[in-house]
Structure 1
């Protein structure tokens, strides 16, 4: 059995840059992951409440609700706490506040 056919992990990619989403989605789908996407924090939270995933790849720098706030809301949501969802913060920013993201509940 190939690794692609054995995978069923669902990953939510949250980024306001369509180019970044396309790149991440293409790479992960080639590895056999099931990918859903959201272009902002509100959409990400709505999707997670409707259908939890196995991992969130979350951009820090988004207009409106940034990745820090999305992380805080995920970790503060009782329903989402029932199934722990790892959160990996991603950013193109030179000096993100990693400690702040980790304090809010991000995994890396």
Structure 2
């Protein structure tokens, strides 16, 4: 399993646009083959900064999503809203406590 964390900083005047778009596409992303989990977080101190946190069955599944028409459509609407370059990490989960 692959964990993907993406940090995104938006123009503060465009966060509502981002949230509306995420609301419209979140289930499609979650239903994409290989996606096992999807969450969106908002920074408490800087409300224009968001993080997505997702689980993928494999790196190949994530890459298939990143080259899909769905991703290209989401990215085309999201990219113009940024006020800083997004950052992304693919990580392995070592421990999980509940």
Question: Under a length normalisation based on structure 1, what TM-score does the superposition of the two structures give?
Answer: 0.27
The structure, 1 or 2, with the larger RCO (C-alpha pairs under 8 Å, 6+ apart) is 2
Question: Under a length normalisation based on structure 2, what TM-score does the superposition of the two structures give?
Answer: 0.28
Of Structure 1 and Structure 2, the greater strand share is in: 2
